[in-house]
Amino acid sequence: LVDDGAKARCSVSETLRGERNGDQECVSCKACVVDGGARAGCYCALYPTDCPSDFVGFAPNDQPETQALVNFTQRVRPVATLSLHARGRELYHDFFAPPQNVARDQLVANKILHHLNAKIPPGQKPYQSVSTQGTSAGGYKDWCIQELGIPSLTLELFEDQPYPIPQDKIQQEYAITKDLIATLAHALE
C-alpha cells in the first residue's frame, strides 16, 4: 500500500537501540513493523502530543505507509473495517464514537464475538470485548470510527503466548476465524 514503495529508514537493530542512520533518528514504537510496515498508532484520532512511553510518530499520518492506508481508505470508503492482530483473543470496537453509532457498533461486535466463541474449543480462552475508551489513540480503527463514522474493529487473534506462534496454533485459529468476513457482512445487515 505504500505509494512510493516500502523504504527502510533504519535497520531493525538501529531502531531497537534508538540510534541514528545519517540524519534519520531511529525510534522504536508500539505495534510497529520496523522496516517498511505500518505503525498502528500514527493516524489522526486524538493524536497524543506527548507520549514518552509509546512513541507513535511525530505527527498524524507522518509515515508513508500510514498515509497510503489513509488514501486507500478514503478512496474505497468501506462500510466497515476489520484489522487482525495477534495477541490475546480480544475485540476492540469503540473509540469515542458519536452517540448514534455506539449501539450499532456494540451490536456488530456482539455478533462477531458470539460467532467466534461458538467455535472455541472447551477450556480455551474465549474472545472478549475490551473497551479502549481513553486508553488508546491514533490507531487505524480509531481514525475510521472518528473520520468515517463506520464500524471499525481490531481483533486480537490467539491466546496469549510467546512468538513465534506455532503452526498448529495458527491452523487452530484459522478454523475459528476463517469465515470472519462473512460474519462481519452478516452483522452489518
Which of 9-18, 73-82, 98-107, 123-132 has the lowest average pLDDT? 9-18
pLDDT tens for 164-176 read 888 888 898 999 9
Which residues are within 8 A (CB) of 27 and not within 5 positions of it... i.e. 6 or more apart?
15, 18, 55
CA atoms of 12 and 14, how far apart (whole Å): 6
pLDDT tens for 68-83 read 899 999 999 999 999 9
